[in-house]
Structure 1
Amino acid sequence: MDNSESFADQIDNLLLNTHADLGIVFGFSKKLPAWLLQKPKFGFFNVHFSLLPAYRGPAPLFWQIKRGETSTGITIHKMDDSFDGGPILFQERIQLFSEESFGALNSKLSLLAISVIEKALEKFSNNGNDLVEQDEISSFSFPAVKRDDLLIDWENQTAAEIMNLVNACNPVFGGAITFLNGQELAIVEVSPAILNDVSDFEPGTIVHADGNYGLFVACKYNSFLRINILQNNEAILSGYKLIASGVKAGARFQNSIRQEAVC
C-alpha cells in the first residue's frame, strides 16, 4: 500500500482491487468513515468481544472482568457510523470464569472468534437480511482505560472486586496499582484466601508474611487475598520475594503515596 494515502483510501483501493462484497473488522480500534462503510455491497461487519448492546467501547474485556461478569460473548454486527452500533448478525455467549485474566480471556475469545465468524457468514449467506437491531435503551458503553481505573481502593473494594481488577489488568495494563512503603507496585496475580482466628484489620494490612505460606492481605469485610505476583520498575516479584526483601506482617498497602504520608 502507498504510505502517502490515508488508511481509509488504502482500504478503498483494496476493496476495488479485490472486488470484495463484504468486509470483516477484527481488533481494529479506529473508526471507519461512513463513506467507506458503504463501499462493499454488503457493508462491513465488526467482531466485538461482548454481548452487544452491553459493553460498547474500546476495552470491553477489561470492564467485564473488573465488574465481575460471569459470562461474556462474541458479537458480529453490521457497522454504522456509531461506535459498536449497527444491527446484530450473530452472537455467541461464553462463560467467564472468576479467575480468568484479560490475557487468557482475550486469547480464548480470539480462537473462538474463527468459528463464530464462520457461523455468522453461513447465516448471512442463507439470509443476509436476518439482522436484529440493537436495543438502544439497554445499551451502555465504557471509555478507554485510564490510570485511575487501575488503582486499588483498599477501603472500598472487597477481596472479590480487587481480584477482578487484578485479573482485568493482567497482562495488558501491567497490574493493579497500589503503594507500599512509599513505592508504587503493580499487583499482577492474587488468589482468594480464607484465614481463621484473625482479628479485624484495616483493609490493605498484611496479616501474614510467611516464607512457607506466602503473603496475605486483609480486604473489606474481613476478607483476604494471597498476593502471588507483583512488579515494580526494577523487577517482577513473587509474594515470597517481597517477604525476603523485609516486608513483614503489619505493613499496609495504600491507595496512594499521599495517603502513606498522612498515615
Structure 2
Amino acid sequence: MKILILSNHIAALPTINALFEKKWLECVVTSGNQLIKNEIHDFCDLKGIACYEVITQTSFSEQVHDLIISTKADLVLVFGFSKKIPNSLLDLPPLGFFNVHFSLLPAYRGPAPLFWQIKNGETFTGITIHKISSSLDSGPILHQQQVQLRAEESFGALNHRLSLIAVSIIAEAFDMLNNNDYMLTDQNEHLSFTLPSVNQQDLIIDWENQTAAEIMNLVNACNPVYNGAIAFLNGQEVSIVEVSPAIINDVSGEEPGTIVFADGNYGLFVACKYDSFLRINVVRNNESILSGHKLVALGVKTGARFSNNIQDQILNN
C-alpha cells in the first residue's frame, strides 16, 4: 500500500514513523510557516522521508494532486492539517482520503475536540478514522476506539497519549483496507454536534459561576496549547497553568476567586463556588513561569482575589 500523509501537528509523528518503517509511506505534505519551527519537516529530514511544504491553498491543491499521481498513492491520510481538502481531490486516490480525529465521532466535530472534551469534563474520548467527505468530520467511519480520560489529565498529556495509541488504531484500519476486509459506517447525524475554534473568551476563568472542578477542567484544557486559563490578579493578567483540588477546614463563605491561604511552605489556595477550593500550582505572566510558592514569596497574600477581568480588579482594589 502506498500512503501520502498531510500533517502539521506533532501528534502525527509516531504514525509517520510507523508507516515509514512499514514501507507504506511515500511522502509527507506539511504547511509551511517561516515564523514557526516545523517539527514535521525536521523529523522527516532526520529519517530521510520525502517532505514537501506548501503555503497557499492554490499551491497545496496542485502539489497534492501531482504527488498523488506521481507516487500512485492508494490513499491520503490527514492527521492534524490546517488546510481544507478540495472536493476535486477526494476521489483521486483509489481508496480516498481518511482523517484522524480525536473524539468518538459524530460527537465533538470541529477543529478543537480535545479542548472541549477536557473542558466539559468528559470521562472518555476516542480516536476515529473516517473517510473525508465534503462536510467537516462527517464522512463514514472506518475504525474507532474509545479511550478513557484520566483524572486531571492536561491537553498536552492526553494529546501525547492519543498520538501513541493512534499508531495501532491506524495500523488496524489500514490493514483492513489493504486486505479489502472493511466496512464504512455512516455517522448518526442525530447524535452529531460541532464545536467551534477556541477563542480568547473561552480561556477566561469565570470564578463566580464555575465550580472548582470546572475551573480545573478549563486549566487542564488550556495546558500547554493555550498557555493556561486566563485570570486577573493585582491588576495583571495571568495564565493559570496547573491546579489541584484542595480541602481546607474552617473556611466558608469566601467570595469565589479569593485567596484563602498563602504560605511559603504550603503554597497558594483559592476559594471557588460552593465552598470548594483549589491549590494554585503553576501560573505564568509576561515575564516568567511561577509556582504558587513563588507567588507567595513575591508578596501575594491571603485576601487578594482573582477575577474575570481587569475592570473587576480595579473595582476590588
TM-score range (shorter-chain normalised) is over 0.9
CA shift for structure 1 position 127: 4.2
* 1:14 alignment partner in structure 2: 67
**Within-5 A mapping of 1:210-225:** 210-225=263-278
Gaps (5+ residues) in structure 1?
Answer: none
Contact kept in structure 2, 1:21 and 1:40, CA below 8 Å: yes
Return the letter of the residue paired with 1:118. A
Over residues 55-81 of structure 1, what are the superposed CA-to-partner deviations in whole Å (9 max), with x where a residue is unaligned?
A: 011110000000000100000000001
Cα distance in 1 between the residues matched to 2:255 and 2:180: 60
Cα distance in 1 between the residues matched to 2:200 and 2:181: 42
* 1:26 alignment partner in structure 2: 79
**Within-5 A mapping of 1:40-55:** 40-55=93-108
Contact kept in structure 2, 1:68 and 1:98, CA below 8 Å: no
Return the letter of the residue paired with 1:138. L
CA shift for structure 1 position 104: 0.5
SS state at 1:31 partner? coil
% identical aligned pairs: 66
Contact kept in structure 1, 2:176 and 2:182, CA below 8 Å: no
SS state at 1:46 partner? strand
Of 220, 230, 234, the match for 1:177: 230
SS state at 1:63 partner? helix
* 1:259 alignment partner in structure 2: 312
Q: Does 1:166 align with 2:219?
A: yes
**Within-5 A mapping of 1:78-227:** 78-127=131-180, 130-227=183-280
* 1:76 alignment partner in structure 2: 129
Greater relative contact order (CA < 8 Å, ≥ 6 in sequence)? 1
Contact kept in structure 2, 1:156 and 1:220, CA below 8 Å: yes
Over residues 46-104 of structure 1, what are the superposed CA-to-partner deviations in whole Å (9 max), with x where a residue is unaligned?
A: 00000000001111000000000010000000000111110000001101012110001
RMSD: 1.4
Change beyond 3 A, Cα 1:126–1:236: same
Report the count of equivalent residues: 263
Cα distance in 1 between the residues matched to 2:281 and 2:247: 15
Gaps (5+ residues) in structure 2?
Answer: 1-51
* 1:238 alignment partner in structure 2: 291
Return the letter of the residue paired with 1:262. L
Cα distance in 2 between the residues matched to 1:226 and 1:214: 7
Deviates more, 1:182-191 or 1:3-12: 3-12
